[in-house]
Amino acid sequence: MLCSVSRRFCYCLLILPGISVAAGRSFAAEPLPAAMHSEFGAANWIPEDAGLFGANYRCLERWQAFTQTRAYQEILTMPAVQMGLSWVRQQPYLGQLAMMRAQNPLLDDGLNVLQDAFSQETFVYVDKRGPGFINELGGLYNSFILNSFLQGINESTAALPAYSEEENKARILRDLLATQDDLHVPGLVFGFRLSDPQAGRDLLARLTPILRQSIPLPFQEESLGGGEFLTLSLSAAMFLTPDAQARMEAEFELADVDAETVEQFVAFVRSQTLSISLGMRDDYLLFSLGADNSHLKNLGSGISLAECKALAPLRKHFRSRLIGLSYVHPGLTQSGKMDVEGTVAKLGDLLKLAEEKMPTGLAERVITDATSLLSEINESLPEAQPTVSASFWNEGTESFTFSALAPGSLESGKPLSILSHAGQSPLLALAAHSPPSLPHYNRLVFWIQRFYGYFTDYAAPQIPAESVADFEQFEALALPALQNFHETTRDLLLPSLEGGQSLFVLDADGALTKSPDTKELLSQPIRFPRPAMIVELKDAQKFIAAWRQYREIANSLLLEVAKANADVSETQLPPPVQRRLGDATLYTYPILAEYDPALYLNDDFEPHALVSSKYFVLSLSSQHSQQLLGDHPLPASAKIDLEQPAGRAAWFDFLALKDLICDDAEAILALVEDEKGLDPNLSLLIDMHIDKFRRILGAVHNYRSRTYEEEGLCVKHSWLKLQDIDQ
């Protein structure tokens, strides 16, 4: 678990700028269609065994399209924006920069190339060594955490053989040397497509002699992978002075590290190298880092990323006007099966540390159960797959993401009909099919019982004699209640829900109508999102019976506790108040009048559960619940048809959110004016900005997505609709 967490952490650090990508397996690739080839850009010569690749396309075109919209023009007319732009124009550094550009042609050309670099296509590429490097860094981090954890346990319980902080360092050092082959800087390339590549070449030609003269380090010019580069090669040996090496060796000697291990570590440090390269390949300006330049030599060789097998699903769903591509190697997605044998072996090594202090047979029992549990978990994990995603400019942003699919994790053979119960004005709707849960629940109960057996066999006998009676009383009360709870869940609750659909909804109709302090009616209600959940029932009678039995189990337990303890007063959970609401039954526990939020919220505010013959609803409003039971389909779309079969689906109405935010801003402004007073000019200025925001945000319409299975992969198809505002 620690290993998985840390590897994810290191991976997230590496892709912080928004990079992502993976490598596909080799196959006899067919040539890409000309239109698709031109849109993939650098992916046409990045090798298929990439560790990471992430690209943005049409950068300047998208910016220019935005600046030509009426929404952008509205932004420019906002008083705050005009004041900000005026302040920027008055800053002296702008004039100084213009003067420096006029006086220094090299600076002017450099800034022109820099601007050009972000005009078309930008990408980040990490070579095939990236996944191993990241995973081994995660392993070293785990080693540090684990050894520190074991040291802490030893200090507090003496459960393990004692070892010092120096010994902890020695253990980590040995772990590092065991994985040193992967601990070399992977190839990392930042690329920029230039509209004027000759300007880039000219700039590099003029910079080369300046760099050679100003930096006294070994630069060299190289032809690599179809490009020309200026490379600076560095090594740790260049900077590791004899004194620094002696201090490092002395520190490890204090940690009782043997001389051979210290020698290996020094050799490892001295072997570390770094190559920094800057150059041009065709239309691309490339900046590269790596232990060497082998990743640059491989550019353009073999099957390309654009042609590889892993991108086949994307090529099938390709659209014109590609604006983003990302690709993550399976080794970085953390998808795929676990190494059960290796994990159990590490657990065995850990148990050996405390073998002398453990009860006879415990280690063997732990190993057996761990092997069985991890094997079961492994069966539910997907095969390792890269994660691939792409975005297209299509009346907004249309995106596809293809990732590994765990067996039985996505039920997408049928439409999500529950989406037609999203209510009259949904702000957000998240729907899903529920995969079969009863088999997983039964295995969970099995393992809970298995783990409790460890407690009764090894921990319970160690309970002090004066506490044994209390423990036996606890078992006598709790275990029967837990058994009844389990049977009710297994026989009633889960069968009543098995294989159904669920829908979480937010609408914009919640409202604060009165001041919570004064209870006076507000001149304009303050609206807020109102949550609700609706779940499809397969057997409403079993569902109702399950919750009735849960209450009876709780009351029986409370009664037994009161009988066994004179200091505990008898308490019972009352049945909920119920009434008919249309064709359904509403269940609620009334709120005490002095605490009732309905005094200042919507008149129908009433937390409750509503059960019909087909659905179970949790809501704060009876009117909202009735809406959810009715038929209110979401608006149709040709881009993403939410009526098609799907395992999960999402809908988000940005226009409704915009109205809620702006209406509330106006209501709060009116409240402040009434209660505290406000300068009329300031009030007018704020109101003007609210109106501007209302118009500008009207360009973002809605988001919808559909997740389904296709050829063994999980496919998420989403679309953010953007449309310029009206005149």
DSSP string, 258-298: -HHHHHHHHHHHHH-EEEEEEEEETTEEEEEEESSSHHHHT
Beta bridge pairs of residue 720: 397, 703
Contact 128, 23 (CB under 8 A): yes
CA dist list (Å): 560 to 373, 551, 556: 36, 14, 6
Q: Sort 71 into a burial class: Cβ within 10 Å, 0-12 / 13-18 / 19+.
A: middle
- Of the candidates 656, 652, 581, 650, which has an alpha carbon nearest to the alpha carbon of residue 619? 581
CA–CA separation, 58 and 60 (whole Å): 6
CA–CA separation, 75 and 692 (whole Å): 7
In single-letter form, the type of residue at position 106 comes to L
pLDDT of residue 165: 62
Taking only Cα atoms into account, the Rg of the chain, rounded to an integer number of angstroms, comes to: 33
Residues of the chain with pLDDT under 50: 1-29
Residue 50 neighbours by CB under 8 Å, 6+ apart: 21, 22, 23, 125, 126, 127, 128, 305, 327, 329
Contact 725, 698 (CB under 8 A): yes
45's tokens: 């010569």
The residue whose two tokens read 């190993």 is 367
CA dist list (Å): 510 to 527, 567, 607, 653: 5, 44, 13, 16
CA–CA separation, 323 and 318 (whole Å): 12
pLDDT of residue 152: 62
CA–CA separation, 357 and 361 (whole Å): 12
Q: How far is CA 297 from the centre of its chain?
A: 34
DSSP string, 612-665: -SSEEEEEEEHHHHHHHHS-BPPPP-SSS-TTSB-SEEEEEEHHHHHHHHHHHH
Angle at which helix 129-157 crosses helix 2-14, to 10 degrees, equals 140
Beta bridge pairs of residue 710: 713
Task: Quickly count: other Cβ atoms within 10 Å of residue 637's Cβ.
Answer: 14
- Strands 501-514 and 426-433, sheet pairing: antiparallel
Contact 413, 645 (CB under 8 A): yes
The residue whose two tokens read 């040995």 is 174
pLDDT of residue 417: 95
| Sign of the dihedral defined by the CA atoms of residues 81, 85, 87, 88, in that order | positive
DSSP string, 431-496: EEE----HHHHHHHHHHHHHHHHHIIIIIGGGS-HHHHHHHHHHHHHHHHHHHHHHHHIIIIIHHH
- Taking the whole predicted model, whether its pTM rises above 0.85 is answered as yes
pLDDT of residue 266: 86
Q: How far is CA 608 from the centre of its chain?
A: 33
462's tokens: 């160690």
CA–CA separation, 681 and 58 (whole Å): 43
The residue whose two tokens read 């009352």 is 574
- Of the candidates 176, 137, 184, which has an alpha carbon nearest to the alpha carbon of residue 294? 184
pLDDT of residue 162: 52
pLDDT of residue 17: 36
Q: Map residue 411 onto helix, strand or coil.
A: coil
- Strands 188-193 and 121-126, sheet pairing: antiparallel
The residue whose two tokens read 């064709």 is 583
Task: Quickly count: other Cβ atoms within 10 Å of residue 157's Cβ.
Answer: 9
CA–CA separation, 529 and 423 (whole Å): 13
Task: Quickly count: other Cβ atoms within 10 Å of residue 38's Cβ.
Answer: 11
Beta bridge pairs of residue 584: 581
Most distant CA pair in the chain: distance in Å?
93
Domain ranges of the chain: 1-58+120-235+277-336, 66-118
Beta bridge pairs of residue 652: 428, 703
Helices (H), 15-47: 34-40
Q: Sort 715 into a burial class: Cβ within 10 Å, 0-12 / 13-18 / 19+.
A: buried
518's tokens: 């004064």
CA–CA separation, 175 and 135 (whole Å): 13
CA–CA separation, 630 and 615 (whole Å): 11
Helices (H), 104-221: 105-117, 129-157, 165-178, 197-214
pLDDT of residue 65: 94
CA–CA separation, 206 and 222 (whole Å): 16
- Of the candidates 317, 381, 295, 291, which has an alpha carbon nearest to the alpha carbon of residue 51? 295
CA–CA separation, 289 and 185 (whole Å): 8
In single-letter form, the type of residue at position 642 comes to L
Residue 233 neighbours by CB under 8 Å, 6+ apart: 218, 220, 273, 274, 275
% residues pLDDT > 90 (the chain): 62
What 201-207 contacts at long range (C-beta under 8 Å, 24+ apart), as own/partner pairs, is 201/228, 201/280, 202/109, 203/106, 203/109, 203/110, 203/113, 204/230, 204/278, 204/279, 204/280, 206/106, 206/109, 207/106
Q: How far is CA 98 from the centre of its chain?
A: 43
The residue whose two tokens read 């070449």 is 201
Residue 317 neighbours by CB under 8 Å, 6+ apart: 400, 717
- In a 13 Å sphere around the CA of 566, the CA atoms on its Cβ side amount to 0
